[in-house]
Amino acid sequence: MLDPKYVSMIGAMRTDRPKPQLGYWICQSAGWLSYALLCTVTAGIMEGHVVGYFLSASVMAGCGFLLTHLFRWYILTRGWLSLAPGSLVLRVVGAIPVLSVVHVTLNYLEAPLESFLVQRPATFEYVNQHLIYQLCNVLYGFLTFGFWSSVYLGFHFLEERRRAEKESWRLAAALSRARLDALRAQVNPHFLFNALNSLRGLIDENPVRARDAVTRLASILRYSLSTDSDATVPFGTELNFVMDYLELELLRFEDRLTVRKKIQPATLERPIPPMLANPG
């Protein structure tokens, strides 16, 4: 059974969802500013009145900024981001035509301002508007909001994938620490019982060897209780711990236990997780 601290850690990892980052506002502002510049280039350079067209396009870019931000707020409040990818995409695709029609309507409402800025009849006035122009404007809005939605969902899916990978690694680390703690809790009492039994027989027979065994036992207990499962230790330190353990086991098994070491000196400073080489 997992320790409560690991359960709370895992629960926190699942419920912790970061708030929107500054990157969203930067991308939102840069994207709609690019939209205003594109409208200015396509409509103003050939006809003049670049400043007027830029101001008019900036107003429509601001409307697009507001519409997409409200759409994002709607997505978050309705919990769309927690849906399956297929359901999320279908809902967003269904909302794109609505956003396009609303933006075209705002274009009509902005027509008097455009007419004043460029000193000519506005492109979107009702009296000069034909059905084909209306359809083209809706299609242009569909492409604009479709591109915005694609970028937004792309970032969302990428962030979800990165978050899932991080949670997977953190969960694996938490489970490993829990198993390590459980192993220590099970192995140490059993080993300690056997070591004390061996020491009891040595006290009268070989006091010198008994004192050495007590020193090794104290070293083992100090190492197992003081090491941090999140940190690493040099392989040489871990090897000393293992040798102390095996020396105590030799008290019990004597000639029935043979220890052979074949270790490259260069590996003694390599960092490894503590208790990794625990022979128990």
Q: Which helix (DSSP H) or strand (DSSP E) does residue 271 occupy?
A: strand 271-272
Q: How much is the pLDDT for 112?
A: 67
Taken as a whole, the chain contains a residue count of 280
Q: Is the pTM of this model over 0.85?
A: no
Residue type, 14: R
**For residues 209, 214, 216 and 220, what is the CA-based torsion angle, rounded to 10 degrees?**
160
Q: For every one of its 280 residues, what pLDDT tens digit does the chain have, with 9 covering 90 and above? A: 434 444 444 444 444 444 557 888 888 889 889 888 887 787 766 666 677 777 777 888 888 899 999 999 999 999 888 888 888 889 999 999 999 888 888 877 776 666 666 666 655 444 455 567 677 778 888 898 999 999 998 888 888 888 888 888 887 777 667 666 655 555 566 667 777 777 777 777 778 888 888 888 888 777 776 766 557 778 888 888 888 878 877 777 777 777 777 888 888 888 877 766 655 5
Q: What is the pLDDT of residue 49?
A: 67
CB 96 within 8 A of CB 49: no
DSSP letters for 257-269? --------GGGGG
Question: What is the spatial distance between Cα 220 and Cα 237, in angstroms, rounded to a whole number?
Answer: 11
Structure tokens at 254: 């004597």
Six-digit token string for 167: 């949670």
C-alpha distances in Å from residue 219, one per residue of 236, 244, 247: 14, 8, 12
* Euclidean distance between CA atoms 35 and 225, whole angstroms: 63
Give me the sign of the Cα torsion angle 115, 121, 123, 124.
positive
pLDDT for the residue 16: 43
